[in-house]
Amino acid sequence: MKKIPVTDSKEANKPDLAKERSTSSPEKPVALSEVDQIEAEDPMAGLQADLDRFRDLALRSQADFENYKKRCAREKEEAIKYANSSLLERLVVIVDNFELGLSAAREESESSPIYSGMNLVLKQLNDFLAENGLQPIEAVGQKFDPNLHEAIAHEPSEEFPEGTVIRQTRRGYRFKDRLLRPSSVVVSSGPAK
- Within 10 A of 106 (CB to CB), how many other CB atoms are there? 13
pLDDT given for residue 82 in this prediction: 86
* pTM for this prediction: 0.60
Domain extent listing, the chain: 34-81, 85-188
Rounded to the nearest integer, the mean pLDDT of the chain is 82
Distance CA 90, CA 77 (A): 23
**What's the mean pLDDT in 18-39?**
52
Amino acid type, 170: R
Distance CA 90, CA 180 (A): 11
**What's the mean pLDDT in 162-184?**
92
Q: Is 181 helix (H, G, I), strand (E, B) or coil?
A: strand
pLDDT given for residue 5 in this prediction: 54
Distance CA 107, CA 130 (A): 27
**Fold that domain 85-188 belongs to in CATH:** Nucleotide Exchange Factor Grpe; Chain A, domain 2 (2.30.22)
